[in-house]
Structure 1
């Protein structure tokens, strides 16, 4: 099946690019002794988990359905975390989770009796420091609800805990800044960490970014683990799938109102939501910076500000032309929605052999069923 035969919009995951990232992850594990669990909140397309499994140690989750998915489709270690569990949530995941991490001391007190003897108990701590490009994604932002601050800790809870989790990075591409965060954590929480069996340092560490100082990161992780006598975990999401996937779309119209807008058969609101939420323009494979033909790449939704980017092309765009929206794996397929009844993208994987494998497709029946299954 050739790409030209596929109906847009669709996601195309490139196995060779995915393996390139995974080989970097493997090297980090070998150098540092850290274990890596895939953050399903970023990427949950389980049809490619067989490619990822040999390289990582398991999955980590932010909600009960992710816990079940990781347990059923990935295996290895299954880490369960939620900002706010219900009792039913805890009952559902305690038997299948290897580690169950609570967000607060109050949730720990309410539900620990449901977990003891089943999963390893953990608590999220908030170090009050972070590296995050935008406040919306900053776990240590003012009034943060995420984890227990150092000043609020009841030291007695650590006597019956197995581990703790920190999450303090978002797309952190600097090993030096991460080392500084580790130093701060040791200074603030060292007396508690020394009692633990394991410590998760969360996700957002972009160790597959070009030029990242992997050896420096590995040395810092190894030293931290030895200092506190713990097994360290990282929870990579985007680091595993960055630059592996295109969202392929078709130009369906070109309109002009001072600027030319190429309308495509996709929408950021429905298919690439973080482009809209964080106001981070997408990149287009076919575009050329500084070229003479300037276009807004506009969505086909009715939301006025819904656009992928503004960019330039060497030649005028044409209706029916395909465009590849780059780096479209992270926080896309996990956030797909049916806004405006827009057709949802199919999902494919191109194997290293060149074979294209369909992982999922969606139709009108899926749209209809998502809204109601019965009438009054």
Structure 2
């Protein structure tokens, strides 16, 4: 049995089903050979592989690294079992849209939910933490043989994709201090509280958050790991893998890109750029190619590139860079056939930056989400695929 606190939390989280309890089964005997795996609707990128016996026929492992992956399933019955192989991540389980139940670092175990009212149920599991350094697996939802398997919930008509860095992962957002160890950052990150998730939920869209803390387009924060920049990782199913992600059902109408880590730290000795001008030129060239890559993958998508309002600053060089970069990126988008590209000016508000390592707080993410939601809702044509002009 999990801790009493977690069991109590499960009961508090589901007042309409006060008898609901959660049990952690480290023996993995809760899933019988005749249990039935549930078909799932997946948000985000995962690598799927069949589970070997004694797992029930048709069971699959969903291996993941990108943040904010989620799984949705439906069934009829009073019992649900989830199987994990993950000692690093925290998950959040929601049944029938009732307040979510945390499942922290389940390990190689089954998690059994009992006490549900008999009848039709919908379950959703969200990955909360960031795990780009390790690949781990959710091995699916199961119901006992006597319960009814329902088709996976239908995909939402709207799809939106976010590409970025720690500003999209909810980096350390649950921290009450900016001073955090690496492990505390991992445990206090919450992608579900980050502004991209808030935006997607508000507009009822399926979503991907293809983001990595510290990543840039051609240069990461501090000049580290040049082989792991976003232009290299974005095509992959898993950042640590080599397989290119392919899924014809993922055709987002909107793709949001926010990547500026390239310029947040000074160029270090040994890096390939002699100065900021060379870096800026390389960044723009890479962005042009990145636009073509995104468009090839999602040909109907409008591209939104939230951009700092550098015109209000006092640095003429940055102002010239901003206008030149936007013009070059826009020209590349038009040449590639992108139906629409916009550079919404990021809102002017003073952030709290009180999360780990002075990242955005919950309030900061809510403010940014509110701005993005308002901007998107003012552009209803985004969802119809209408072109610029």
Q: Which has the higher contact order (CA 8 A, sep 6+)?
A: 1
TM-score band, normalised by shorter chain: under 0.3
Provide TM-score, normalisation by structure 2. 0.27
Provide TM-score, normalisation by structure 1. 0.27
